[in-house]
Structure 1
Amino acid sequence: MQRTPVTSSNIRSIGYDAGTTTLEVEFKDFSVYRYFGVPAQLHASLMNSASKGRFLANFIKNKFTYTQIK
């Protein structure tokens, strides 16, 4: 999955696959997580948020099934 670099203190890049509704987040420590079943609208809101780390913590983390892939 191709990820887009973002400006964030703890997130390096974010990718999204609309076909599988999978969100992929790469952190500054190079760990990568995939979140499953994330609606496209939520991904768009994340990308437009002023604080991507805070948005991820409040609306995605612990609300969707995920796996660490790296």
Structure 2
Amino acid sequence: MPSSVVNSFIYFPETEILRIIYQSGAIYDYLKVPFGISEKFRTAKSKGKFLNSVIKPGFKYRKIE
């Protein structure tokens, strides 16, 4: 089932950046996200719940767009 929050995402392993493109069109880079966490996000049944419970509270971010 598609996420109502996350449109798509890209993980950059060389910089440990998880880029999330929201359904709203906003783009955020979450910094220093370990590969294992990005994989758990990738396979999460609910991307929005994982984002709100693990990614947002655990990692610094910067707004790209």
Q: Write the distance in 2 (CA, Å) between the matches of 1:41 and 1:53.
A: 18
Letter aligned with residue 20 of structure 1: T
Letter aligned with residue 48 of structure 2: G
Q: Does 1:45 find its partner at 2:40?
A: yes
Q: Does 1:67 find its partner at 2:62?
A: yes
Q: Please point out which of 50, 57, 60 is paired with 1:55.
A: 50
State the Cα distance separating 1:62 from its structure 2 match. 2.6
Aligned length: 65
Between Structure 1 and Structure 2, the one with more helix by share is 2
Q: Deviations over 1:9-40 (max 9, x none)?
A: 11100100000000000001100000000000
Residue aligned with 2:3, SS: coil
Q: Does 1:15 find its partner at 2:17?
A: no
Letter aligned with residue 46 of structure 1: F
Q: Write the distance in 2 (CA, Å) between the matches of 1:63 and 1:42.
A: 11
TM-score (norm. length: structure 1): 0.88
Residue aligned with 1:61, SS: helix
2:31 aligns with 36
Q: Write the distance in 1 (CA, Å) between the matches of 2:44 and 2:61.
A: 21
Letter aligned with residue 55 of structure 2: I
Seq. identity, %: 31
